Structures are given as C-alpha cells and as structure tokens.
Chain A
Amino acid sequence: MSVRLEGPIIILEGVCRVEDAEPLLRWLQADPGRTVDLSGADHLHASVLQVLMALRPALKGSPRDPFIRDWVVSALADPRLIGMAPQRA
C-alpha cells in the first residue's frame, strides 16, 4: 500500500497505483480537511490524480519525481480547475 493515513495527513509514497485511489477517496470523503503529503510520491496513477482533482485537498510537499512535480502537481494548481470542484452533497 502506497497510501496511508497519519493523523490529519494522508501520505502518498512511491508508485501509487490504481488501487490506492479508493482509500484516498474514502479518507478525503470522511474528512475533506485532511492534507495530502506528496513529497514521497514517485508516480500517481491517473485514478489517484483524479481523486485529487475532484476533491481538491490541501497538498503538502514537493514530489521528488520531476515529472510528477513539474507537470502533474503544477497542473493541479492551475486556477482554471477551481470552480470545477464538485458540489458538496
């Protein structure tokens, strides 16, 4: 498992795979205030990425993988994504 919960922080580490999306989603649904720590992430599967896009949690740490850092995380910060956030049920 490359996703784990430590107190108010969800840590994504190493290569995050498709199966990591589900626990990440559950934890963020349970408490949208949780922060996601990406500093140890080497890869984010698209399913994990879209959970981050949909729920827009606070992010922490700069991933050590240059592709994820330069393209994926910076694209997540794109202001145009704001406003596409889901309506809260």
Chain B
Amino acid sequence: MDDLLQHFIVEARELTQQATDDLLALERDPDQAASMDSAFRAVHTLKGSVGLFDFAPMGLALHAAEDLLGALKERRVRTDNIVIDTLLECIGQTERWVGAIERMGQLPPDAAEEGYRLARVLREQADDGSSATSQTDPQVDLSWAEELVQSIDPAVVKGSAKHLVAIRYTPRADCFFAGDDPVALLRAVPDLMAVHLFNRDPWPPATEIDPFACNLKIEAISGAGLDAVKAVFRFVPDQVAIHEIAQSSGRSAHVAAANHGEHRGGDAVGGPRMLRVDATRIDRMADLVGEMVVAKNALAHLAGQAKDGMDAKSLSQGLLASQAAIDRLVVEMHRAVMDVRMMPMRDLFRRFPRAVRDIAGQLGKSVDLSIEGEEVEADKAVVEGLFEPLLHVLRNAIDHGAEPEQARLNSGKPSRTRILLRAQREGERVVVDVQDDGRGIDATAVRRVARERALMPEDELARMSDADAVELIFAPGFSTASAVTDLSGRGVGMDAVRSAVEKLGGQASVHTLTGQGTTIRLSLPLTLVMARVMAVRIGGELYGIPLDGVVETAFIPAARVIPVRDAEAFVLRDRTLPLVRLADLLEIPRPLELSQQGLKVVIMAVGDDLVGIAVDGFAERMDVLMRPMSGILAGMPGVMGTTLLGDGSVLMILDIPELIG
C-alpha cells in the first residue's frame, strides 16, 4: 500500500473519531460552538483528503455531511437528535469504508449506492431545516454580509430599499455535471450591489486543477426583495444561504461575534495528528544518543590504547568503566524507547461513548457512561489490545446488567443505568474496571446454567462459594443470556474476554452484588515487551518463568512431600499446595539423586490457587526483551516467547498455567 494511502487511513481514523466525539457532545448540548466548529472542520478535512483518491462515493457522502454541518453551524437547520443520528450514520459508514480500504485498498462494491443514499438523506435534512427555520434568525453570523455591505458605495445604498439581501452561494463540486452555471445564476439576481468571489477550498497545484469540479464560493448583496432573490436560487436551495439584513444595524456586534468564533476555531486546529509522541520524550532520546556517542568514542580511545600496548590491569579497568557506562545508557535508552511506546488510555476510551450509545439504542436501554483515568498510560500493544474485550464487557453490562427503566425506578435507582469505565495504575500494572449499577449477577442462575451445560461436576458446583460461582461466567461455553440478542449472540462470551486479556499478560475478574451492580476488572501489565523473568535450571537447561506469577521460592525437604494418589503435595505454612515437577511438565527425565535431600520449589499463583513447581535449581532474575513465538513455533503450547541471553543462547520463557493446563 502506498504511503499516501496509509497516511490517509491513519488520518481518516482520527478525523472520524474527532467528528464522532464532537457529534456526541453536540447531542448533549446542541449550542456548543466549539464542538460544532470542530466537527465541521474534521468532516471538511476528511472530505478534502478523500478527494486525493478515487473514493467518490465517500467524498459525496462526506460532502453532504459537511454541507449539513455548515447549515447547522449557520443555524439554518436546527440541531436535533435526528440530524445527529444521520451524521453519525454517515461517519460510521465512513469508518467502515476506511476499514475496507485498509483491507482491500478500495471501497466495497456497494459503496456507490450507499454513498448516494447517505448523501441524499443528509441533503434532505439540510433542506428540511432551511425551509423550516426563520430567515431572520437573530443568531445567524452575518459578519460576511456586513463586510460586503461596507464595500458598497454608500450613494448606491441610499437610493435603494431599506432592506438588503445577502446571498452566500456555495455550489456543489459536481454542479457542472448537473448543468448548473453558478455565474449564470448570479447574473439572474436582480439589483446586484456587491459581489465577492472566493475559492471554497484552497486550490490544488496548478497541474492538478480539475476544471470540472466547482470550487467557487460566491457572496453577493442584492437590493431586490427576499422573494425575488429566493426565486433565482429555487433549484439549489441546499447550496445557498439567503438572509435579509437591516442596513447599518448592530454592525459592530456582529463583527465582534464573528471574530470570537474565528478565534475559537483557530484553537481547535491543533488537534491530534499522526505523531502522538511527547516531544520531550524524543528530546530525551536524542540526548541519550549523544551520550552513547561519547561512550562509544571512549571505547574507541581505549581500543587504540590497547593496540599501543597498554598494560592488562589498566585495560581491564578501562573496559569495566566503559562497560558500566554503556550498560547504564542501554538501560536508559530502553526506558526511553518504552516510554515512546506508552500511550494514554484516552485514545482507546474515546471510542466507547459512541459504541455504548449505539448498543444502548439497539437494546432500548438508557445508559450514562462516564470515563475516568483517560490519562493513564500503558504500552501501545496493551492499550490497542483492550478494545475488543472492553467492548464486549460494556456490551454485556448494557445487555445483561442494565434493567428496564421502570424496574430501576421501582428499586429506587435513577432511571438511567450508570456505567463507569475507569483505568488506574497499580504498581507495575494497569487496572481497567467496568462498573455498572445494574441488577448484578445472580449466582444461583450462574450455577443453573453451569449445571445445564455441564461445565463442572455437580458436587464441585455445590461446594463453590457464590463469588467463585460468578467467576464461571468466564468459563468457555458459558453465556447468561436467556434470549440470545443480536449483539451478545456472536458466539463470543466472557471467555473470549478472559483469553484476550490473558494473551496480553493480564487477568480478568468479576465482583458483583445482586441488585447493586457488577464490576468487571481487567488487570494488565503496563508493558508487554519488557518481561521480568526468573531463570530456573532443569537438567542442564535454563528456562525462564515470568516473575509476575512467582510468589516466592522455597526449599522443601523431601520428607515433607506427601504423595496424593498419583500426584504430590506439600505443606507450606499450614497450607497444602499441589506439587508439580517442571521436568514432568517438560517431559524431561527427572534426576533422581537430587530429590533425596529436598526440592527447590517455585511457588506460583495459577488463577486463584498457589502451586509449587519443583525445579533443579534457581538462577538469576533478569529483565528481558521477550520475543513472542512466531512462524511455525507460534502455536507451541506452554511457551510464551524467547529471549537471547548474554552468551548468545536462547532462553525459552514458559507459560506455566498453560503447561499445567
């Protein structure tokens, strides 16, 4: 895919997101000028970029959306939910098209029809509004008209009618193909007093100008009556704004208001762009590179001295000093690079208000979503990997958690279900909670479903605490939906959430109170790339175990190992823990002589239980850059990834829970 298109896809994603945010803000408060300007600008920019490619249907729809937003901005059309819905539909379709373009490099075959349909619907909205709203709405920003009036020779104005008519005509880009000639229309306007011509968008470079795409904006003042002017433009009502203006009244006020608006618009331009890295982080890296160059030069100097016959003691001292300096720099450099990979949750979270609104709308639930901790940062891979699982959790909260409004009122709750999406940093982990104040999860119902689906033996189910039983919602094959809805019935349950989160090195848990709500907690490592591992020895080999699962290490005398049928257990501080020999898991022959004295055991948390893993020896703990298994090794069970050790050998990092299975 060429660079330009890739750039477009990234930018289009951001712009559609921006437009969505702004539209949702407008839905809450239609009078927010800043959101209106920002939405307009996002759609306008997007339309402009679309024009660089052969995506005509997308351009057509966006152009209509831009015009509708323009009409909203100028208050020719009232901002209501129907209009917002239509615009969101257009933006949603644009997002899907961008997805298709990313996959296939082009729009799907049905895009032409859909584009025309969207454009038509959007234009209908713009037209409806323009005929419905008053032409003398005092809120309209008429500064452009004032400017025009000022350019008229006062002698001309005096002799004419008291009221002037201001016209702002922005012909559609494809109007020539419809047979329109905007200049001919302008000629038909009676009693012209002033004309300004503009280009609607900046002109492309001279060699790329398309003479058949209309890029004009015409502003004019007429001394004829409103009706006479309207009659001229009766076939292009969607492209023209016509206002009657009283002469020299409130001129300064209008101009002031307009300036204010422009200024605010200017601020909004500095929105997010492709580069999302804090400049200070880049500066920090540049500094570090500088220091590395110094360290390298010092080493080169040392090498020169060694060649000239430096004595061994000074040489080793010099080498050690140099190594220490480079060591420190590598650590800092690594940290700096990891910092660049850190991104705030904001980019992820801002996608949810729209999704929640859509889901709630489809399910007929009323939901208020609030978001906290947008500024919490985590590794890019973690943040991006959370979208699907969180979407599913939110969907569940709306579908299963939220009660019907009446039921909520009857139990003394506010009618709208509250859902809180919150990220917090807890040590080296980031914790994301989805908390609803819905009906909670009924442990009895969970047990019943688990029984029906034979998820576990009857007696075990009966013994379980309610809290443990509720955790069964994460079990494969579980779904509490009594009626499978369109949304939840996609064949993915909470087990998909748990496995997606575990793939990111995290855990999912649930906490619920019947009648009061449910909290789903996803706890994830801050970074994926850097893993702290403990190396252990089995036979002659070293293996790595991720340190975040290791609770402690212990030495267990052989006498304390209790055989339990064909398995083993041991007692650690009054708790009986199962003992698993890593050699057995890896199917390596056990060295018998060692186990006479005792066992070296790594105590690990697997799910909620502790397990002892017997190894031949402990080696050092280290920070490693873990590479996930790729290619034909990707499916290898029990191995998370590999890392290169200092001596060039490969350390396999084991996924103990998976090995125990």
Contact = CB atoms under 8 A, between A and B. Distances in A.
Contact of B211 (A22, A75, A80, A87): A22
B183 A75 contact: no
A55 interface: yes
Nearest to A17: B181
Interface string A76-89: 10101100111111
A86 B204 CA distance: 6
Nearest to A75: B197
Nearest to A45: B181
Nearest to B171: A46
A47 interface: yes
A32 B207 CA distance: 11
A9 interface: no
Interface in B176-200: 176, 180-184, 186-187, 192, 195-199
Interface stretch (B212-220, B422-430, B520-528): B212-220
A53 B183 CA distance: 13
B195 A89 contact: no
B1 interface: no
Interface residues of A, number: 34
Contacts of B184: 43, 45-46
B197 A81 contact: yes
B203 A54 contact: yes
Nearest to A71: B195
Contact of B214 (A28, A50, A78): A50
A88 B202 CA distance: 13
A46 B205 contact: no
Interface string B196-236: 11110011111111011011100000000000000000000
A25 B199 contact: no
A29 interface: yes
A75 B186 CA distance: 13
Nearest to B219: A75
A50 B196 contact: no
A1 interface: no
A74 B193 CA distance: 13
Contacts of B183: 43-46, 49, 72
Contacts of A80: 196, 198
B169 to A, nearest CB: 10
B214 A72 contact: no
Contact of B197 (A22, A49, A55): A49
Given A21-B211, A46-B216, A53-B199, A71 B192 contact: yes
A89 B199 contact: no
Given A43-B184, A50-B216, A71-B192, A76 B206 contact: no
Contact of A89 (B208, B211, B216): B208
Interface of A is mostly: helix
Contacts of A78: 196-197
B203 A86 contact: yes
Given A75-B195, A85-B203, A46 B182 contact: yes
A77 to B, nearest CB: 10
Contact of A86 (B182, B198, B209, B214): B209
B418 to A, nearest CB: 51
A87 B206 CA distance: 7
A55 B206 contact: yes
A18 interface: yes
A84 B214 CA distance: 16
Contacts of B171: 46
A76 B203 CA distance: 15
A21 to B, nearest CB: 4
Contact of A84 (B195, B196, B199, B207): B199
| Most chain A CB neighbours (cut-off 10 Å) among B181, B184, B214, B216 | B181
A51 interface: yes
- Residue of A24, A67, A89 most packed against chain B (CB within 10 A): A67
Contact of A47 (B192, B205, B211): B211
Contacts of A44: 183
B181 A25 contact: no
Q: Which of B183, B192, B195, B199 has the most chain A CB within a 10 Å cutoff?
A: B183
Interface in A22-67: 22, 24-25, 28-29, 32, 43-47, 49-51, 53-55, 67
Contact of B199 (A18, A50, A67, A87): A50
Contacts of B192: 67, 71
A47 B182 CA distance: 9
Nearest to A72: B183
Nearest to A21: B211
Contact of A43 (B187, B198, B203, B207): B187
B199 A46 contact: no
Given A44-B183, A47-B214, A50-B214, A89 B197 contact: no
A46 B187 contact: no
Given A81-B197, A81-B198, 11 more contacts: A18-B181, A21-B212, A24-B211, A29-B206, A46-B180, A46-B183, A53-B197, A55-B209, A67-B187, A72-B195, A75-B195
**A-B residue pairs, 10 tightest by C-beta:** A89-B205, A21-B211, A86-B203, A46-B182, A71-B195, A75-B197, A54-B203, A46-B183, A89-B207, A25-B211
30 contacts: A21-B212, A22-B211, A28-B206, A32-B206, A43-B187, A44-B183, A46-B214, A46-B216, A47-B211, A49-B216, A50-B199, A50-B211, A50-B216, A53-B216, A54-B199, A54-B203, A54-B209, A55-B206, A71-B192, A72-B186, A75-B196, A76-B197, A78-B197, A80-B198, A84-B199, A86-B202, A86-B203, A86-B205, A87-B205, A89-B206
